Structure 1
Amino acid sequence: MPQLRLSDEEYLRRRRTILERLGERGITGLIAFGPNNVSYFSRFGFIATERPIAYILTRDTSALLVPRLELEHAETFALVDRVTAYPEYPGERHPMEFLKDILVDLGLSRAKIGVDSDGYGRIYGYRGPRVSELLPDAEVITVVDDIEYMQMINSEEELALIRESARWGNLAHTYLQEYCKVGVSETEISMRASYEATQAMIRTLGPEYRPMSWGRAGAHAGFRGQIGKDSAFPHAMTSNARLKPGDVLVTGAGASVWGYGSELERTMIMGEPTPEQERYFNLMLEAQTLALNTIKPGIPCSAVDKEVMRFFKEHNLEENWRHHTGHAKSTLVHEAPFLDVGDHRLIEVGMVFTVEPGIYVPGLGGFRHSDTVAVTPDGIEMITYYPRDLESLTIPI
């Protein structure tokens, strides 16, 4: 049975690393407000609302500020030394005043403090003071780049969770392709495939499995509206279209495992492909293969996208271009760095990317595969592994 969660040592290692990085600049405390950042250091996953939640870290202690409704939740799951709860937002006393109490108690009122943002974000109507306003004698420094860089480099424990996600995304996609029939709606196909893959996942992994996601729990596969001519819209919205002969289908599949995910996308054809469909499919596959073969540690992210753009230009596909080659992937939908001509950060071992150059032909359809890959010392490890060839992705009718 694979390990289905991160160890306590993984979280403690992250804390040591961020404190070392910040300590080099004289920063003695850290405050994180972003849900992904809070959970990254504290193990506490939660639904972000207008009620602020903050994670505080120093060399001596770790603390969590939560609304009263999250108190028992945090005490049960958070890996911290102390949890403080405030009654409600906005409350008779603003939640950020409770945060100030913690910071003063920890001796941070005149310190250099690193933050992922200078206050809680303006979501769901939230309004409140910034940290720099709460502690005017402190020096508040944005350190989101430090946190983001740490999240770019995945440990072996993290990679294991991403691999497990890909395993169940692969099953969900297998069901999705199997259930594609003329006249059936995309919603019905997606719900059936996702449900059956999730049931198999739960039965196999047992009670140790935790999605750690407030969105999709388990495995999923679907089309998100990229059916027929609408597949030419890279970010189409579900329209409950019914499949027809000749449709180009662009799919997406994955699974949530302890908050980690993977991305698997394929282009499928309903019935025998036309010569035009076959041409664009094969060009897309060549472009993706080129990108996969280009990725290696030590080169800039931009180099991968430049190779794909060169390919597009050589084959007169520039008018069919819509987006960069890919993005990093672990706990969020899209993450930095990006396989983009404008991102010159160096590719490093442990980074995980989606590789998904697409070709979009108005009136015909879109052609895009996406695979999740991990960077290794010699190149890449293919984490997703669903068939990529046209024959395997042609659905008989």
Structure 2
Amino acid sequence: MTAQPRQTAQPISREERATRAKTAFGHLESPQDALVLFDDQFIFYYCGFAFFPIERPVALVITREGERILFVPRLEREHAQQVSEAERVADYPEFPGQRHPLRQLADLLTELGLEKASIGVDHDGYPPVMGYDGPALSEALPGATVSRVSRALDHQMALKSPAEVELIRESARWGAYAHHLLQDYTRVGENETEVEARATKEATAAMIAALGDTYRGQNRWMSGAVALYRGQIGVHSALPHAMTTGATFQHGDTLVTGAGAAVWGYISELERTMFVGEASGEQQRFFQHMLNLQDIAFEAFKPGLTCAHVDEAVRAYYEREQLWDHWRHHVGHSLGQRIHESPFLDIGDSRPLEPGMVLSVEPGLYVPGLGGFRHSDTILITASGMELLTDYPRDLDSLTLPG
């Protein structure tokens, strides 16, 4: 019987979020008088307001003093007042309304004395979502100087605090639990949709029972403790981003899985390659190459070296072993609140690895007609190298299912 994890992590404190807002300006390349952020993930990061973006704009204003003003549609006012940590909530009636919400946001910024200020933004206005249309912030507030600063804020988000790391660890524990159930229930003749649903439902129920009544997922990309195949079954496993087809498991299938859990806004990534019945010689060969690629990546993690260095080390193996026909993507990416964050373990990303970064490590091989071969693990960059946050067997014997 699969053992359940023990709960250890607590949600991000109000103090930590307030500190993030006050110190955000120190990450910027040029001085700004205020920040205006529209991305729901930045808004959650700085003030704890989790919501689903729709056509009605939501924005967070952060002053240099660290005051946070949350700008929301009227229908979100009570919600924002109850759950956000902003010092003030301002609202507008509706979108598009008689006066456009972006013009009302400009009125708010003018009220704050920012009509001629230097303002850092993630987007120059609310991005197109579900039919939204409207002016750029620079158009609505023409006296201000509006500059994109999202790359600098992404860097702040990439450096995880100890509290964030503990939430990701907790996510990894429950992701592994869900994956054990997925593996247990996968058998010849079973249906992928039913197996995924059973494993996810049982793991989520166990997680909620363990974490208690205060638990909240608060993540847009994941709900509960999840384990799935996403359609990467048999020959379709050779498609890195396949979609579910409702397949029935058959003897000889190559399977590529995915698992994780949403824990107070944070997630992890666990993926494994498995086989239904004893793997063929070709399946075993590519499985071993895949393990070698991931091991090379693990060994390449050193603070101060670049993200590109990791991808270059892995690419050298593809070159040496003549595997380029089976290459499809870079080594991995940062993650935490988002399922994909920056920086990226890519030959084109020269940013240095720093202690506190959390990344996926998932170099893959994709062989049309045979299958896909990809393990993904979540790692933490430390002062001396890396720490594995996901804990699940990687070897062939452990990942071979009854045929």
TM range (shorter): over 0.9
Matched, 1:35 2:21: no
Matched, 1:213 2:228: no
Pairing 1:1-397 to 2, within 5 Å after superposition: 1-22=7-28, 25-60=30-65, 61-397=67-403
Q: Which amino acid aligns with 1:242?
A: T
Deviations 1:175-224 (A, max 9, x none): 00000011111101100000000011011111121101245321000100
- Say which SS state the counterpart of residue 208 (structure 1) adopts: coil
Aligned 8 A contact 2:221 2:338 in 1: no
Q: CA deviation at 1:135?
A: 1.4
Q: CA deviation at 1:239?
A: 0.4
Counterparts of 1:21 and 1:329, CA distance in 2: 19
Q: CA deviation at 1:30?
A: 0.6
- Say which SS state the counterpart of residue 213 (structure 2) adopts: helix
After TM superposition, the runs of 4+ consecutive aligned structure 1 residues lying more than 4 A away are none
Counterparts of 1:28 and 1:74, CA distance in 2: 24
Structure 1: gaps (5+ residues): none
Q: CA deviation at 1:85?
A: 1.3
Question: Which range moved further: 281-290 or 212-221?
Answer: 212-221
Counterparts of 2:269 and 2:219, CA distance in 1: 16
Q: Which amino acid aligns with 1:155?
A: S
Counterparts of 1:215 and 1:38, CA distance in 2: 16
Deviations 1:6-32 (A, max 9, x none): 01111111112113344x733111100
Q: CA deviation at 1:136?
A: 1.1
Counterparts of 2:216 and 2:356, CA distance in 1: 24
Q: CA deviation at 1:2?
A: 2.2
Q: CA deviation at 1:96?
A: 1.3
Counterparts of 2:339 and 2:203, CA distance in 1: 20
Counterparts of 2:143 and 2:205, CA distance in 1: 55
Counterparts of 2:19 and 2:115, CA distance in 1: 26
Counterparts of 1:166 and 1:283, CA distance in 2: 25
Aligned residue pair count:
396
TM-score (norm 1): 0.98
Counterparts of 2:27 and 2:352, CA distance in 1: 19
Q: Which amino acid aligns with 2:41?
A: N
Q: What is the aligned-residue identity percentage? A: 50
Report the aligned-residue RMSD.
1.1
Counterparts of 1:125 and 1:235, CA distance in 2: 26
TM-score (norm 2): 0.96
- Say which SS state the counterpart of residue 171 (structure 1) adopts: helix
Counterparts of 1:5 and 1:193, CA distance in 2: 25
Counterparts of 2:220 and 2:305, CA distance in 1: 36
Counterparts of 2:80 and 2:9, CA distance in 1: 23
Q: CA deviation at 1:297?
A: 0.6
Q: Which amino acid aligns with 1:184?
A: E
Question: Which range moved further: 13-22 or 298-307?
Answer: 13-22
Structure 2: gaps (5+ residues): 1-6
Counterparts of 1:338 and 1:115, CA distance in 2: 22
Residues 388 and 11 of structure 1, relative CA distance in 2, 3 Å threshold: same
Question: Which range moved further: 344-353 or 2-11?
Answer: 2-11
Aligned 8 A contact 2:181 2:199 in 1: yes
Aligned 8 A contact 1:4 1:257 in 2: no
Counterparts of 2:183 and 2:9, CA distance in 1: 29
Counterparts of 1:25 and 1:324, CA distance in 2: 31
Aligned 8 A contact 2:204 2:224 in 1: yes
Q: Which amino acid aligns with 1:13?
A: T
Aligned 8 A contact 1:4 1:208 in 2: no
Aligned 8 A contact 2:9 2:170 in 1: no
- Say which SS state the counterpart of residue 212 (structure 2) adopts: helix
Counterparts of 1:281 and 1:175, CA distance in 2: 22
Q: Which amino acid aligns with 1:51?
A: R
Q: Which amino acid aligns with 1:15?
A: A
Counterparts of 1:314 and 1:3, CA distance in 2: 43
